[in-house]
Structure 1
Amino acid sequence: MEDERGSLLLPKNMEEHHPAHDRGTTELRNFRSYLRWVYVDHSNVCKAGLSWTVFFTLAFVVPTLSHFLLDCPTCDRDHSRPYHIPVQISLSVFAALSFISISSWDRRYGFRKFLFLDKLGDESLKIQRGYSEQMQGTMKLIMRWGLPCFIAECAYKIWWYVSGASQIPHYGSIYVSSIILCTLDLCSWLYRTSIFFLVCVLFRLICYLQILRLDEFARVFQRETEVGSILLEHLRMRRNLRIISHRFRGFILASLLLVTASQLIFLLMVTKPHADVDILKAGELALVSITLVSGLLILLRGATKITHKAHSITGLAAKWHICATINSFDNIEGETPTTAHAISAQAIATNISWGSSDDDEVGDEEDDLDNTKLLLPIYTQTISFHKRQALVTYLENNRAGITVFGFMLDRTWLHSIFGIQLALCLWLLNKTVGV
């Protein structure tokens, strides 16, 4: 699109005039190149038609032709493909879900608005620099997750075509036919997995921007700030998280249900009586399972991390409130505190800590906003007790985070998902293997 909403493929003239792109031009160019590589371009009717054509060809036409053209009932056991159909269906379904989601987001919002780049120029320099660095790391994350799976898939396909050249049906020259069909198979597999990983890492990238904003927002408790301005900033953060939740809730829920269903079906196929399972037959099944579960983990980890960070704000505000209250009771006699006394009281209040002083026992997963040390300046003379109490009460009853149709994506929710999936897995094993 050429209007203000733009396209997922951001035009170069927009990049040059956007303030946040002065340090992130390379990262945005990499994103644009990657999107063109998976061919998600809806900037005009012709390119949109070509994108949909490539999608249908690689997501549905090539897997269908591969199944029927390479059907080999007379092949030996090593070259039979008993799990080819569920593997192809799973990849095609997730590719369709991802492509339709990206197309919908592109049509409604555009690249700049979808990634919150249109408002990034209003943020601090630290947030802009951190977001730019995360965009560069996002491209590395795609390669880190996708490249090993693609290498394994290439090794399997090349072995299958080379070792079974005398058995696999061919059309014309055996070498030309095998090379063309193998290339199409690999391109189809890479396209479908790449577009699924793309949506997952885009969600992770957007969540990281909000985490940077939450870290910046937490600094309001370290300076003299009006409660009204704190409230307005928190309302803005909650609104951004609601927008993200609304945009991704369908994709997250569909991914969770489809991944769970596909894994249960795979488990049923490999554990049923007389199932023919070995690394040569079920290796591709295991590979697609790793791919789909990895993408789901990226989604859930990004959602729970930002939800935990948003909930930590409430704990931080409570610490700020109790430190201020303790400091105010130190001066309860009504005497005007001297400068030395005020500094001493503030130093005592702001260095309270509980538990062991050994930092090694804390662990690497402790959040900076949710630790046992109170290192917060106290401003009891400018912010009254009632205002502080009202702010803490508001934060306790209006917690922000990523939600899926009203359900907060936090660690408790993940525990519930794990319990349900474990129960389904054990039930299925009881039906197929027995106790």
Structure 2
Amino acid sequence: MRVLSKNIFSINTPIVLRPVIVIILYHFHPKAMEAEKASLIPKRRDISRTKSSAHDELHSFRSWLRWMCVDQSTGYTFCLSWLVFIVFTIVIPTLSHFYLACSDCDNRHARPHDSHVQLSLSTMATLSFLCLSRFVRVYGLRRFLFFDKLCNESDTVRKGYTEQLDSSLKILFIFVAPCFTAEAAYKIWWYSSGATAIPFLGNAMVSDAVACTLELASWLYRTVVFFLVCVLFRLICHLQILRLQDFAKVFHVDSDVEDVLREHLRIRRHLHIISHRYRVFILWALILVTISQFTSLLDTTRSTADLSIFKTGELALVSVSLLAGIMILLRCATRITHKAQGVTCLAAKWHVCATIESFDPPDIDTETPPMGVLTNQVFSHDASASDNDDAGSEDELDSTKLIPAYARSTISFQKRQALVTYFENNRAGITVFGFMLDRTSLHTIVMIEMSLVLWLLGKTVGIS
């Protein structure tokens, strides 16, 4: 019946006879009519988030997120993730501060700055966890990391982005491992040398081991969650840098202005998406880290403050860890903004080279050679090539070499000028509520944050 209905409702069927055929179908086979009615209704486009399959390129990364209890793809992992977050971010730091701070300990084992340490780490971990939960729940891991868009990219971009994904966990380990080693050494010394002054239940050594393990696990969890969001931002920015470097190749081949404009608009749209997703995290991370540094300085610069490396070493370690995460965010945002704005210089250079080559070569048989011939004899093209022999770090966006004007025969001067004008008035990059994160803003923020941290290190561990 379904095959018959498809043949009846073909294009060749007259429109007048279709109502009669519908009545006949409904009389003999009502289910067939319902199927036909459902087929005539346009299907609603699926607007749900893109889900990752179980055995794609994100399989190992998703397994690591599940092991860290930050995966919220199912109901079970969602409840487990929030349970682990509450325990390691709120419960254990609270118990550690009120029951293990040891207010009646000796001078070396007292922890007067423990409240600043716990609040700073827990606040940043809460912000990171909430943002990461929203990213994974709303967009899905595959869509959030732009893996659903890699099918439209070149092989170079796909290969480079996959390699960067594999090395992201190594980068996370590089930042977390030194800080965790220093924290573990301090906690082990504190528990092993001051065990008698701490309230225990039962065996003292077992209580020491359990309390030390729980505190280290809480510290590691909060630090990893914060650095994970920063490393994911670095990964996404690296994809856009690869795309910009691949986009720069359009000026070295015979490309059409419309194709160049469409590709640049696509890159700008993705940069706008990244800025929109991360703007809350970047802004609040800067505010919270700055407040943490100011309060730490006010606490350590008091006239009655008793400073030593045993009391303030943990405070300095937390400040350095938070500053490292902020530097990851700012450096990646500034770098991609610099690359995106470098497209304007590349397009202007391409326009100049194409304009110069569009003129006919001068007649060198005349009695007095024109000025252009004399200039070319003085400034040869080989000299510019020899000057760039040592510029090994330059890429397509930062190259100072001349661009061969392949498109001078197909693209007019007006189209090239319009494209350059568009680039000059539509600068792309990472923004935070309309504020561009470029090198000027980076220098200002780094100067403020580094001044606070160096001042704090000078007061705590003697580094200035």
Would you call these one fold, judging by a TM-score over 0.5? yes
Q: Verify: 1:146 aligned to 2:146, yes or no.
A: no
Equivalent position of 1:67 in the other structure:
97
Equivalent position of 1:79 in the other structure:
109
State the 1:167 CA deviation.
1.5
Q: 1:32-431 maps to which residues of 2 (within 5 A)?
A: 32-331=62-361, 351=381, 357=387, 359-360=389-390, 368-418=396-446
SS at match of 2:408: coil
Listed one character per residue, the Cα deviations across residues 352-405 of structure 1 (whole Å, up to 9, x for unaligned) are 876992755x695x5541232224443211111111000000000001110000
Q: CA 1:358–1:225 in structure 2 vs 1: closer, same or farther (change >3 Å)?
A: closer
Q: CA 1:108–1:236 in structure 2 vs 1: closer, same or farther (change >3 Å)?
A: same
- Cα distance in 2 between the residues matched to 1:120 and 1:371: 26
- Cα distance in 2 between the residues matched to 1:302 and 1:324: 33
Aligned residues: 398
SS at match of 1:78: coil
- Cα distance in 2 between the residues matched to 1:239 and 1:332: 45
Q: CA 1:378–1:52 in structure 2 vs 1: closer, same or farther (change >3 Å)?
A: same
SS at match of 1:326: helix
Over aligned residue pairs, what C-alpha RMSD do you find?
2.7
Letter in 1 for 2:346: L
SS at match of 2:321: helix
State the 1:351 CA deviation.
4.8
User: Where do 5+ consecutive residues of structure 2 fail to align?
Assistant: 1-46, 364-375, 457-464
Letter in 2 for 1:329: F
State the 1:415 CA deviation.
2.5
State the 1:349 CA deviation.
11
8 Å CA contact 1:97–1:251 kept in 2: the answer is yes
Q: CA 1:122–1:145 in structure 2 vs 1: closer, same or farther (change >3 Å)?
A: same
State the 1:305 CA deviation.
0.6
Aligned-residue sequence identity (percent) comes to 56
SS at match of 2:387: coil
- Cα distance in 1 between the residues matched to 2:276 and 2:383: 39
Q: CA 1:31–1:412 in structure 2 vs 1: closer, same or farther (change >3 Å)?
A: same
SS at match of 1:119: helix
State the 1:74 CA deviation.
2.1
Listed one character per residue, the Cα deviations across residues 206-240 of structure 1 (whole Å, up to 9, x for unaligned) are 00011111111110001001101100110000000
- Cα distance in 1 between the residues matched to 2:379 and 2:201: 81
SS at match of 1:96: helix
Letter in 2 for 1:402: I
Q: CA 1:358–1:118 in structure 2 vs 1: closer, same or farther (change >3 Å)?
A: closer
State the 1:298 CA deviation.
0.5
Q: Verify: 1:5 aligned to 2:49, yes or no.
A: yes
Listed one character per residue, the Cα deviations across residues 76-133 of structure 1 (whole Å, up to 9, x for unaligned) are 1110001111000000001100110011111210001000011112211111110111
Letter in 2 for 1:5: R
- Cα distance in 1 between the residues matched to 2:259 and 2:210: 63
- Cα distance in 2 between the residues matched to 1:384 and 1:349: 27
Q: CA 1:353–1:188 in structure 2 vs 1: closer, same or farther (change >3 Å)?
A: farther
Q: CA 1:58–1:255 in structure 2 vs 1: closer, same or farther (change >3 Å)?
A: same
Listed one character per residue, the Cα deviations across residues 45-77 of structure 1 (whole Å, up to 9, x for unaligned) are 232112111101100000001112214222111
Equivalent position of 1:433 in the other structure:
none
- Greater Cα radius of gyration, structure 1 or 2: 2
Listed one character per residue, the Cα deviations across residues 227-256 of structure 1 (whole Å, up to 9, x for unaligned) are 011001100000000000000000001111
Q: CA 1:415–1:330 in structure 2 vs 1: closer, same or farther (change >3 Å)?
A: farther
8 Å CA contact 2:103–2:111 kept in 1: the answer is no
Farther-moved stretch of structure 1 (315-324 vs 411-420):
411-420
Letter in 1 for 2:328: I
- Cα distance in 2 between the residues matched to 1:127 and 1:350: 36
- Cα distance in 1 between the residues matched to 2:403 and 2:143: 36
- Cα distance in 2 between the residues matched to 1:311 and 1:86: 40
Q: CA 1:353–1:222 in structure 2 vs 1: closer, same or farther (change >3 Å)?
A: farther
Q: CA 1:381–1:408 in structure 2 vs 1: closer, same or farther (change >3 Å)?
A: same
8 Å CA contact 1:5–1:111 kept in 2: the answer is no
SS at match of 1:46: helix
- Cα distance in 1 between the residues matched to 2:177 and 2:143: 29
Letter in 1 for 2:49: R
8 Å CA contact 1:40–1:51 kept in 2: the answer is yes
- Cα distance in 2 between the residues matched to 1:353 and 1:182: 66
Q: CA 1:368–1:78 in structure 2 vs 1: closer, same or farther (change >3 Å)?
A: farther
SS at match of 1:235: helix
8 Å CA contact 1:320–1:378 kept in 2: the answer is no
SS at match of 1:75: coil
